[in-house]
């Protein structure tokens, strides 16, 4: 039930606080979770009133993230989000704030309080984590540049948590990414090569799931991970069509994408909706979903990642989207033009190369529209 008038001291009115206090005592609860952001004062007052530990929405998400993080990067990002969250809540942790440290002689002053010292320690640790994450970011940038030298398009899976992204990722790549019926089962990005129905190949990226009202501190902490989404050539928005809140979840995902600076309707970074879990729909719902997808103009594909249904159509749709932003070019080139051949391998995907004449080759490449013009100018220069 929504709170009509949030109270600065306790969020809830006094009557509701007392009612919930009786419920906590009756159930002998040691932990109470409030599905709403709480200020430090509200959290402290509710803990005193209920005699139990209180977690708000952000705190709960951080606890889940802490259990899911596996890699060093993931643990750093979770710790950064934790510390940023805790920095404003030190007032809850200390009952001896009158104790002071420091001071020297008669003019040294009272020194810093315990809370100031702890806040400084947290700030120092946050600065250290930022430096570590900058190194991770640079490393990821180097990996991205190495992938650009083998210029396969990047396709990123995005979607609400537990929509089936990792199950789809495993199905398309044969990877062993953890795919469980859990919130935020995947925190760390994973990338694998996938062959398309034609001769094309892509790099598929699995990313962290989104959630409604995702705290801005978490978006900031996971920005390094989500850079793979920002840099992607195509986004696959995986949706759980069996969830009754499917439409509101779609809006939540688009809100997070906008927070990352991605416009879901941007033609320069196309988005394809993947309507997952159709095996859980009844016959009328399934027919409605398929009819809606057929009327979407190629913007939606119905699949069941768990059952493997519709995957061939999805791969064809991905191929069509990639081809729409890339062109196939055929040309002949002499083998002595080593510099140009190197440029072609770094800036296009070589689909085929066949001998043509004593020292020549006939190339068939797929290249983006903006790089095609550069290629044609270079070819004309070689011909001249």
Number of domains the chain is built from: 3
- Asked whether residue 302 falls in the same domain as residue 334, the answer is no
176 in any annotated domain: yes
Q: Is residue 102 part of a domain?
A: no
**Is residue 187 assigned to a domain?**
yes
pLDDT at 144: 59
Domain shared by 219 and 270, yes or no: yes
**Are residues 185 and 50 both part of a single domain?**
no
119 in any annotated domain: no
| Residue 29, domain member (yes or no) | yes
Q: At 338, which CATH number?
A: 3.30.70
Residue in this structure with the two tokens 């749709």, named with its chain if needed: 317
Q: Is residue 235 domain-shared with residue 275, that is, in the same domain? A: yes
Same domain for 339 and 354? yes
Same domain assignment for residues 343 and 260: no
Same domain, 302 and 360: no
Q: Are residues 200 and 320 in the same domain?
A: yes
- What is the per-residue pLDDT for 105? 45
7 in a structural domain: no
Q: Two tokens at 304? A: 């069941």
- How many angstroms separate the Cα of 279 from the Cα of each of 240, 242, 302? 11, 9, 10
d(CA 367, CA 111): 65
Q: In this predicted structure, what is the pLDDT of residue 266?
A: 54
Q: What is the pTM assigned to this prediction?
A: 0.69
CATH number of residue 197's parent domain: 3.40.50.300
Question: Over the stretch 216-228, which tens digit does the pLDDT of each residue have?
Answer: 666 665 665 676 6
Same domain assignment for residues 167 and 316: yes
Residue 125 pLDDT = 87
Kindly state whether residues 337 and 294 are assigned to the same domain: no
Residues spanned by the domain of 367 = 326-383
Taking 70 as the pLDDT cut, the residues of the chain under it are 1-2, 68-71, 88, 90-115, 140-151, 175-189, 198-199, 214-225, 227-228, 264-269, 370, 382-384
Q: Is position 255 within any domain?
A: yes
Clarify whether residues 317 and 331 are in a common domain. Answer: no
Residue 118 lies in a domain: no
272 and 308 together in one domain: yes
């Amino acid at each position: 039930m929504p709170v009509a008038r949030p109270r600065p001291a306790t969020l809830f009115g006094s009557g509701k606080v007392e009612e919930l206090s009786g419920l906590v005592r009756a159930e002998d609860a040691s932990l109470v979770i409030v599905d709403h952001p709480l200020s430090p004062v509200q959290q402290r007052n509710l803990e005193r009133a209920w005699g139990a530990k209180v977690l708000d929405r952000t705190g709960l998400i951080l606890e889940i993230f802490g259990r899911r993080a596996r890699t060093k990067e993931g643990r750093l990002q979770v710790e950064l989000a934790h510390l940023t969250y805790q920095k404003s809540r030190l007032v809850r942790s200390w009952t001896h704030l009158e104790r002071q440290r420091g001071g020297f002689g008669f003019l040294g002053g009272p020194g810093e309080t315990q809370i100031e010292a702890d806040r400084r320690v947290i700030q120092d640790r946050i600065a250290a984590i930022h430096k570590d994450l900058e190194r991770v970011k640079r490393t990821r940038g180097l990996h991205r540049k190495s992938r650009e030298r083998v210029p396969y398009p990047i396709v990123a899976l995005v979607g609400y948590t537990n929509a089936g992204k990792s199950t789809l990722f495993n199905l398309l790549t044969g990877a062993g990414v953890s795919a469980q019926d859990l919130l935020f089962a995947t925190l760390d990005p994973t990338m694998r090569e996938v062959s398309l129905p034609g001769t094309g190949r892509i790099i598929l990226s699995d990313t962290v799931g989104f959630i409604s009202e995702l705290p801005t501190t978490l978006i900031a902490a996971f920005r390094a991970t989500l850079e793979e989404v920002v840099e992607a050539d195509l986004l696959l928005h995986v949706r759980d069509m069996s969830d009754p809140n499917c439409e509101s979840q779609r809006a939540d995902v688009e809100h997070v994408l906008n927070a990352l600076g991605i416009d879901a309707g941007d033609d320069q970074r196309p988005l394809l909706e993947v309507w997952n879990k159709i095996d859980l729909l009844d016959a009328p719902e399934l027919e409605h979903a398929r009819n809606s997808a057929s009327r979407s103009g190629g913007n939606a594909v119905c699949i069941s990642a768990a059952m493997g249904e519709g995957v061939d159509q999805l791969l064809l749709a991905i191929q069509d989207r990639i081809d729409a932003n890339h062109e196939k070019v055929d040309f002949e080139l002499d083998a002595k033009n080593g510099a140009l051949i190197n440029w072609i391998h770094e800036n296009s995907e070589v689909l085929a190369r066949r001998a043509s004449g004593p020292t020549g080759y006939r190339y068939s490449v797929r290249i983006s529209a903006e790089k095609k013009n550069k290629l044609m100018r270079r070819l004309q220069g070689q011909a001249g």
